[in-house]
C-alpha cells in the first residue's frame, strides 16, 4: 500500500511541471558488478530548498523511498542498505551510496528536491544495472524491415496513406538503449512508436520501434530511412544503425516505359525530319546550279 501511494505521488509530481534544469543528478547510467558500491549525486540550484528524498524504481514499476536528507542530516529508511552524505541545501551535493550490490539493486534511482508547501522537483534519474558475470556486455544488431505486402494491400483497400517500417534491435546486454529515426538525414519523431522497455530473450535483450511514413515518401526511390540505437557500454555511448531505401511507386515502370516510347518516337520523327531537310537542301542546291547553267547557255 505504501509503495502504491508513493508511485502515485511520484507520477503526480513528475507530470506537474517539475523542471530538470534546476536539478542535476549524475551519473545518468552506470554498470556495477555484484558486491560493488555505486555512488549517485544530486545537486540543485533552487533558493531556500533544503530537503532531498531518494527513490528507487524497479523494473516492475514499484517505487521505494530509500530515505531523505534535511540540510546535512541524513534519515535513511529502516531496513534499507544505503548511506546518504553531503547536504540538501542549495548548490550543495547530496550523495547516495548503495553497497554490496546484488541483482535486485538494478533499478532507476531518482532524487527529489522539495520544500514543505512548495512544488517538488525530480532529477533526471540514474539507471543502475548490476551485471550478470556470465554475460558479456554486447551492443545491439540493428535491422530495418520494410512494410509487409499484406499491410500494403490492406492499407490501399482502406484508403490509408501510411506505411509502417519496423526497426529491430537484438542481441544486446544490458538494456541501456535509446532508439532514434532519421529520414534522409533529418531527425523524425512524428509517427514513431518504440517499445516502453527492452525485452529479455534468453541472456540478451530485444527492442523494436515502428515508424509510420506517408506513401509518397515510401514510394520515393532512394529515400533513406535510418534507425539508430544508442547503447551505453559502461564507458561511453556507442551507436548502431540499420537502414532501408524507399522503393519505386506502383505504376512508375509503366509511366517510365510510356515516357521512353514517346521519347523514342520523338527521336525517330526528328531523324526523319532532318533526313527530309537534307534531301530538300540537296534538291534546292541542284536546282539552283541547273538554273545557273541554263542561264549561261542562253547568254552565249
Residue 285 maps to a domain:
no
Last-in-domain residue among 130, 150, 170? 130
Does residue 176 share a domain with residue 88? no
Residues 17 and 117 in one domain: yes
Q: pTM higher than 0.75 for the full model?
A: no
C-alpha to C-alpha distance for 51 and 107, rounded to whole angstroms: 23
* Between residues 208 and 154, the one the model is more confident about: 208
Per-residue confidence band for 264, with pLDDT thresholds at 50, 70 and 90: low
Confidence band (pLDDT; 50, 70, 90) for 287?
low
* pLDDT at position 82 over 90: yes
Do 20 and 122 fall within a single domain? yes
List pLDDT tens digits, range 92-104: 999 999 999 999 9
8 A C-beta contact, residue 179 and residue 197: no
The verdict on 35 and 82 lying in the same domain is yes
- Tell me if 187 is assigned to some domain: yes
Does residue 115 sit in the same domain as residue 154?
no
Picking from 245, 264, 282, the residue at the C-terminal end of a domain is 245
Instruction: Assess if residue 183 is contained within a domain.
Output: yes
Q: Is the residue at 206 inside a domain?
A: yes
- Residues 205, 169: Cα–Cα separation, whole Å: 8
Average pLDDT of the chain, as a whole number: 84
Q: Which residues contact 147 (CB under 8 A, 6 or more apart)?
A: 163, 164, 165, 218
Answer yes or no: is 227 within a domain: yes
| Lookup: cell for 33 | 558488478
The answer on 120 and 28 residing in a single domain is yes
pLDDT at residue 258, rounded to an integer: 46
Q: Does residue 27 share a domain with residue 75?
A: yes
Does the pLDDT of residue 17 top 50, yes or no?
no
Q: 59 and 178: one domain?
A: no
Give me the pLDDT at residue 240, please. 98
The rounded percent of the chain whose pLDDT value lies above 70 is 73
Range of the domain at 110: 2-130
Split at pLDDT 50, 70, 90, the class of 196 is: very high
Is 204 among the domain residues? yes
Same-domain pairing of 30 and 146:
no
Flag whether 297 is in a domain: no
Indicate if 146 and 219 belong to the same structural domain. Answer: yes
Q: State pLDDT tens for residues 222-259.
A: 999 999 999 999 999 999 999 999 988 775 444 444 44
State the total domains in the chain. Answer: 2
b/e per residue 133-143 (b: at least 16 CB within 10 A): eeeebebbebe
Could you tell me the CATH number of the domain that includes residue 166? Answer: 2.60.40.10
Cα torsion angle, 143, 146, 149, 154, sign:
positive
Percent of the chain whose pLDDT exceeds 90: 66
| Shared domain check, 236 and 178 | yes
- 136 found inside a domain: no
Of the candidates 225, 245, 265, which is a domain's last residue? 245
The answer to whether residues 112 and 148 belong to one domain is: no
Amino acid at each position: 500500500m505504501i509503495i502504491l501511494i508513493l508511485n502515485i505521488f511520484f507520477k503526480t509530481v513528475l507530470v506537474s511541471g517539475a523542471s530538470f534544469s534546476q536539478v542535476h543528478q549524475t551519473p545518468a547510467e552506470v554498470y556495477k558488478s555484484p558486491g560493488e558500491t555505486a555512488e549517485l549525486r544530486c545537486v540543485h540550484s533552487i533558493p531556500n530548498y533544503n530537503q532531498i528524498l531518494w527513490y528507487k524504481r524497479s523494473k516492475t514499476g514499484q517505487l521505494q523511498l530509500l530515505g531523505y536528507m534535511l540540510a546535512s542530516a541524513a534519515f535513511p529508511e529502516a531496513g534499507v542498505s544505503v548511506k546518504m552524505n553531503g547536504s540538501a541545501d542549495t548548490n550543495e551535493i547530496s550523495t547516495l551510496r548503495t553497497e554490496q550490490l546484488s541483482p535486485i539493486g538494478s533499478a532507476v534511482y531518482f532524487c527529489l528536491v522539495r520544500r514543505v508547501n512548495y512544488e517538488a522537483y525530480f532529477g533526471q534519474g540514474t539507471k543502475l544495472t548490476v551485471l550478470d558475470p556470465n554475460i558479456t556486455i554486447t551492443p545491439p544488431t540493428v535491422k530495418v524491415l520494410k512494410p509487409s505486402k499484406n499491410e500494403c494491400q490492406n492499407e490501399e483497400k482502406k484508403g490509408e496513406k501510411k506505411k509502417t517500417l519496423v526497426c529491430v534491435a537484438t542481441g544486446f546486454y544490458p538494456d541501456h538503449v535509446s532508439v532514434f529515426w532519421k529520414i534522409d538525414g533529418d531527425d523524425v519523431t512524428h509517427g514513431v512508436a518504440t517499445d516502453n522497455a527492452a525485452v529479455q530473450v534468453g541472456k540478451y535483450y530485444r527492442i523494436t520501434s515502428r515508424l509510420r511514413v506517408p506513401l509518397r515518401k515510401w514510394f520515393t526511390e532512394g529515400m533513406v530511412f535510418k534507425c539508430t540505437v544508442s547503447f551505453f557500454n559502461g564507458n561511453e555511448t556507442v551507436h548502431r544503425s540499420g537502414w532501408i531505401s524507399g522503393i519505386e511507386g506502383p505504376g512508375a515502370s509503366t509511366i517510365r516505359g510510356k515516357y521512353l516510347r514517346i521519347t523514342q518516337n520523338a527521336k525517330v520523327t526528328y531523324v526523319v525530319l532532318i533526313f527530309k531537310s537534307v534531301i530538300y537542301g540537296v534538291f534546292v542546291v541542284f536546282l539552283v546550279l541547273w538554273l545557273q547553267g541554263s542561264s549561261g547557255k542562253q547568254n552565249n
